[in-house]
Chains A and B, each alone.
Chain A
Amino acid sequence: MERYELIVVGAGPAGLSAAIEAAKAGMKTVVFDENAKPGGQLFKQIHKFFGSKEHKAKIRGYNIGETLLREAETCGVEVVLNATVAGVYEGRELTVMQGDSIKHFKGDSIVVATGASENMVTFPGWTLPGVIGAGAAQTMMNLHGIKPGSRVLMLGTGNVGLVVSYQLLQAGCEVVALVDASKKIGGYGVHAAKVARTGVPFYLSHTIVAVHGEDCVKGVTIGEVDAAWQVIPGSEKTFDVDTVCLAVGLSPMAQLVKSAGCEMNGIVPAVDAYGATSVPGIYAAGDVSGIEEASSAMIEGRIAGAAAAYQAGYLEKSDFESIVTAHEASLGSLREGMFGPKQRGRVQTVTEEGIVLSQSLLTKGYLDESDLAHFPSIQHGKTGVYPVIECTQNIPCNPCQDACVKGCILIGNDITSLPVINAEATCTGCGMCVASCSGQAIFLVEEKPLESTAYVSFPYEFLPLPEKGDRGIALDRSGAPICDAEITAVRTGKAMDQTHVVTMKVPLDYASTARFFRRR
C-alpha cells in the first residue's frame, strides 16, 4: 500500500485546484482520474467564462484548463490517469483500478472532487441511437472534432442546454428548436439571446412526446404541456431530426463520499466552509458538493486543498486564514445575482436596480422592442459611435468594464450590477467591449441620418467569417430577416480571442433592431 499526504479523486477544475494549493504548501499530493486526459469538463468548454478577472472571466474554458495543468505540473502534483477510484474505506484507504488490476493507497487527507453526471428523462424512443446527453454532444464536437448529428433538437434551456446549442451551431449543425417543459428559460438570458438571433426557435412549456425511428432517430414530436405537465392534445409539432440532445440537469456523483461514510445532506455530502465532510480528513469540493459552475468549483478546490494543508501542519494559521478569506470573497461574488444559489426557486420580476425583467427574454430568448427603453445601457439615437449593452439580468460578470480603455462602461464593485454607460466618456468604436463580453451582448451602433444608414457591429464566432463587401440579410434579435445588409468591416485580434467584431451597414430605421447577419 502506497501512502500520500493528500489523495485527490478527480482531475477536474476542483480536484486540480485542491491539489495545486496543497502541493504548493508542500504536501505530497496525487490526483487519480478515471479518464485518459485530465481537466474534467474544462476542455470541452469553449465559451468565454463569466465572473471577474480573478475568476478568469472572458477566458475560454479550455485555456483555463491548460493553465491549471501547467500550474499542477509546476507545483509537483502527480496526476495518474486511467485510474478509477473504486472505493474509499475506513482509515482513508482507497482502492484504485488501473487496467485490470486494483491497487491500495492510503491518504492522510482525501479530497473527493468527482463532479457530476447528467440527468436523463424518458419518453417513447429515448433509447434510440441519436438520443444523446448534451455532454456527449460537447465531447464529440469539442474534444473529438465530430458533429453528433446534422439536425438537432435540444431539450433543456438551462445554461448547459443554451451553451451546447450554441456550440452545435458553431460546429456546423442545425439546431431546429430548444424545448423546455418549464415556462421560463432556465439559463442566462444572454446565452439564450446569442442562439435566438441566429434564428433558433424556443418552445417553452413544451416537452418531448416521442422520438421516431426504427434503428436510429429520424424525427421528434414535441407538445405543449398544461399546468399539470400533461401534453395538450392538438399542440403536437414534429421535426425531422437525426439527433435529440438532453440537457436536463446534473446530479452530484456522491457515491464515494457516501461509501466513505460521510454524512449526507440530501444528495450532497454535508460540508463545512472548508469542504470538510463529517469524516475527519475527507473533503469534498466542486460539483460533488453542490452543482455550480467550474469557476466556483476551482475556488472550492483551492479552499479544500488549503484546509488539508493547514490540518497537516503545512500552513500557518495566519497564512491559511488569509488564503481562505480571499477565496471566500471571490466565491461570494460569484454566488450573488439572480442566478445565485440564494435565489433558487424564487420568482423574480425585477433586477437589483428595480428594472422590470424582460418576459420576452425569459420565454422566447430575446428582448422585445418594448423592453429596450427600460434599460439605460441600451442606448439609441446618439451622435457618433456608441455601445449598446443588452445585458438585462444580474449575472456575476464584469469584463466589459475593463475592456473599455475610455471608461465608457461602469459596473462598480458589485459584479452582478447591470452595466451603466458613463455619459462623460467617449466611445472610440474600438470594439473591445463587443469581443470581451462573455455573453455576446454588446453591440456598437453608429447612426448616419444624412446617409439614412446605420452601422451595427456585433460579435461573430462562426465560420465562414463574413468578409468586407459581403452582401446579405440583417436578422433581428429573434433571427427574423429584416433588411438588406452589407459587411463594411471585420475586426480580428489576439485580444479578441476568436470573437470577431463584424460591422454591417443597414438602413437607418434598423439601427436598433439589426443584430446578426446571414449571407444570401
Chain B
Amino acid sequence: MRIKEHPILGATEKGATVTFEFDGKPIQGFEGEPIAVALRAAGVMVHRHTMKEDRPRGIFCAIGRCTDCVMIVDGKPNIRTCVTPLKAGMKVETQYGVTAKKEA
C-alpha cells in the first residue's frame, strides 16, 4: 500500500524502520509516522470494536478529529492512532469498548 514513487511528490521521506507490536505480533513501520499508517501498510483495517454492538472501526478522518481509530497503546486506551507518532517497541492493541480484551 505504500506509494514508492509519486508523480508529483517523488519519494516519500520516512524515518528509520522500527519494529512494534500489534496484538502480540511484531510488525515493522517507519519511526515518526502515525501508528495508523504503519498498521494500514501492514494490512490492518480494524482498530477497535464498539462497546455496545461490537462493531469494527478503523481510520475515518485521519486527522485526529473523529476518534474512530483509537487503540490501546502501551497500555493506555483511547489513543488516536492517526496522529500518534510510531516509536520502536510500541505495544499496540485492538481496543474492545475501552479495554484490551473482549469481554465474555
Contacts and interface: CB of A to CB of B under 8 A. Distances in A.
A129, A132, A216, most chain B CB atoms within 10 A: A129
B8 A46 contact: yes
Contact of A216 (B5, B45, B60): B45
Given A129-B47, A140-B37, A462 B7 contact: yes
B90 interface: no
B64 A171 contact: no
Interface string A19-31: 0000000000000
Contacts of A498: 7-8
A136 B60 contact: yes
A171 B62 contact: no
A463 B7 contact: yes
B14 A145 contact: yes
A146 interface: yes
Contacts of B37: 140, 144, 146
A142 interface: yes
Interface centre among B34, B57, B85, by most chain A C-beta atoms within 10 angstroms, is B34
Of listed A127, A137, A141, A465, residue having the most chain B CB within 10 A: A127
B51 interface: no
Task: Give the interface centre of A117, A140, A172 by most chain B CB atoms within 10 Å.
Answer: A140
A216 B85 CA distance: 24
Contact of A144 (B8, B12, B46): B12
Max chain B Cβ within 10 angstroms of own Cβ: one of A36, A139, A463: A139
Interface size range of chain A in the complex:
35 or more
A34 B64 contact: yes
Contacts of B45: 129-130, 215-216
Given A130-B45, A142-B9, A36 B85 contact: yes
B46 A129 contact: yes
Interface residues of chain A: helix, strand, loop or mixed (majority) = loop
A240 to B, nearest CB: 16
Nearest to A149: B1
Contacts, number: 99
**Interface SS of chain B:** loop
B7 A147 contact: no
A139 B34 CA distance: 11
Contacts of A130: 45, 58
B55 A127 contact: yes
B58 A129 contact: yes
Contacts of B14: 145
A244 to B, nearest CB: 11
A118 interface: yes
A170 B10 CA distance: 11
B83 interface: yes
Contact of A145 (B3, B46, B63, B64): B3
A137 B37 CA distance: 11
A145 B55 contact: no
Contacts of A148: 40, 59
A415 to B, nearest CB: 25
Contacts of A46: 8-9
A230 B51 CA distance: 33
A177 B1 CA distance: 20
A404 interface: no
* 3 cross-chain pairs, A with B, having the tightest CB-CB distances, nearest first: A129-B58, A145-B12, A136-B62
13 contacts: A35-B64, A128-B58, A129-B56, A135-B61, A136-B62, A142-B9, A145-B6, A145-B14, A150-B1, A215-B46, A463-B5, A463-B7, A465-B7
